[in-house]
Amino acid sequence: MTAMVGASETSHALSGINSRHLDLLNTYCASCHNEKKSKGKFRIDELSLTIQTTNDAERWQKVLNALNAGEMPPEDEEQVPPLEKADLVDDLGLAMVTLRKKMSDRHGAIAMSRLNRREYRNTLRELLGVEINVSQLPPDHGLGNYDTSGSSLYISSNQIESYLELGREAVEEAIDRYLARGVTVKHRHEGEELTKKYRAHFKKWDASTKWRSELAKAGVQTVNEKIYKSLKTKHPSRQDKHLPFYLHFDEISGAPAVPNDSAFRFFDNPTRVDQFISASAPNHSYLKRYLNLPKIEQGAFITIPTIHPNQLPTGYVEYHLPPGWPPGKYKVRFRVARADNAPEDRRFLEFGLRVRNVDLLSAHEVTGTMEDP
């Protein structure tokens, strides 16, 4: 037997439950659920025979759920005698049903509850034909998986502002859609743009290697002996040319200048140089292999994610729509192929919004070949 309870501002007695039931719970449960030891963040001494809030009712509901499921007491603890347990479950189940009726009775008063996130999103879609992100609205926590629990759907002045703000956003988008009706815009993204990013990455790598080599030559000079000995002590197995002298770039006498190219100006930032090397070095050979793949001048390969995407997006192909485009429905077409040696589980393409925490829109099996995309 299970029961659900709603919100109330009036206290109610838990009908049929008395000190005898509490004594039974104290005998078999209080050793693990007390002030000093509250397993599952639950305490028997917090159970009240007078229900004043939804939380009071939820505590008793948890007791009923645990007894029904046979979870409490645990198997390795002393068990409640079967007859007494059956009486407790029956009495508590009936009490919770009665309590629900009492707490849901508003005595003719009309209480205003807010629409939950799902209802508000669906309402805006039906009225205005737009999809709005409603994550800024208050959460709809209720018992179980229900999102219509009255105790959660209260509303404050700040929350009303959130609803109004999203409503205005929905109206503005609906107006923009109306004004943009009949407008057609196109955007073409060439996959080989990724190849350019690979080449830019290796250009940066080669430049950093050359610069670090020159820095190492200066670092081993007698004038920088203190820094050299310190690094050698920390990294005894490294060759001199591979010591991280860049960590002391601004202290090394005779250090080479940072290249003028804006892409390399971070060389004088030890933390960023260290991050670049740490991310790139372990995957360097694998990344270098990309430039030997076929047809990278006519497209891009989606490979295994390795290096951080801020350095090089290896596991996806991304493109950004121009910010001035009007809201509306857009058709997206891909010309794709699978590699001849691609395993079965890598012959699918996922399409979605945002690179991180992707909002997946669709998934497609790739049937095209390199000869016939």
**Taking the domains of the chain in order of start, what are their residue ranges?**
12-104, 117-179, 193-285
Confidence category of residue 4, pLDDT binned at 50, 70, 90: very low
pLDDT, mean of residues 102-115: 63
More confident residue, 173 or 311: 173
**Which pLDDT belongs to residue 141?**
56
* pLDDT per position as a tens digit, 30-41: 778 877 777 777
Distance CA 65, CA 61 (A): 6
- Out of 63-72, 85-94, 222-231, the most confident range is 222-231
pLDDT, mean of residues 347-361: 83
Confidence category of residue 149, pLDDT binned at 50, 70, 90: low
Candidates 6, 9, 14; CA nearest to 93 is 14
* pLDDT per position as a tens digit, 262-305: 777 777 787 888 888 888 888 888 889 999 999 999 999 988 88
**Which pLDDT belongs to residue 104?**
64
Contact of 141 with 55, CB cutoff 8 Å: no
Contact of 267 with 273, CB cutoff 8 Å: yes
**Which pLDDT belongs to residue 109?**
54
Q: What is the 3-state secondary structure of 265-310?
A: HHHHCHHHHHHHHHHHHHHHHHHHHHHHCCCCCCCCCCCCCCCCCC
Q: Residue 301 forms beta bridges with which residues?
A: none
Distance CA 96, CA 104 (A): 12
**Which pLDDT belongs to residue 156?**
62
Distance CA 152, CA 154 (A): 6
Q: How many CA atoms lie within 13 A of 288 on its CB side?
A: 10
Residue linked to tokens 């629900």: 100
Contact of 121 with 132, CB cutoff 8 Å: yes
Residue linked to tokens 């270098």: 288
Confidence category of residue 325, pLDDT binned at 50, 70, 90: confident
- Out of 7-16, 126-135, 266-275, the most confident range is 126-135
- pLDDT at 336 > cutoff 90: yes
pLDDT, mean of residues 171-183: 85
More confident residue, 328 or 210: 210
From residue 9, alpha-carbon distances to 12, 103, 113, 281 in Å are: 10, 8, 14, 64
Candidates 162, 163, 60; CA nearest to 120 is 163
- pLDDT at 142 > cutoff 80: no
Query: DSSP H helical segments within the chain, as ranges?
Result: 19-29, 54-69, 82-104, 117-128, 157-179, 193-219, 225-234, 270-280, 284-289
Evaluate the omega torsion of the peptide bond into residue 326 and state whether it is cis, within 30 degrees of 0. no
Contact of 73 with 80, CB cutoff 8 Å: yes
Burial annotation 233-251 (CB, 10 A radius, 16+ → b, else e): eeeeeeeeeebbbbbbbee
From residue 139, alpha-carbon distances to 107, 169, 360 in Å are: 28, 20, 22
**Which pLDDT belongs to residue 105?**
59
Contacts of 104 (CB under 8 A, 6+ apart): 5, 6, 150
pLDDT, mean of residues 58-74: 81
Average pLDDT, the chain: 81
- pLDDT at 10 > cutoff 70: no
- pLDDT at 223 > cutoff 80: yes
**Which pLDDT belongs to residue 157?**
63
**Which pLDDT belongs to residue 216?**
92
Query: DSSP H helical segments within 36-156, as ranges?
Result: 54-69, 82-104, 117-128
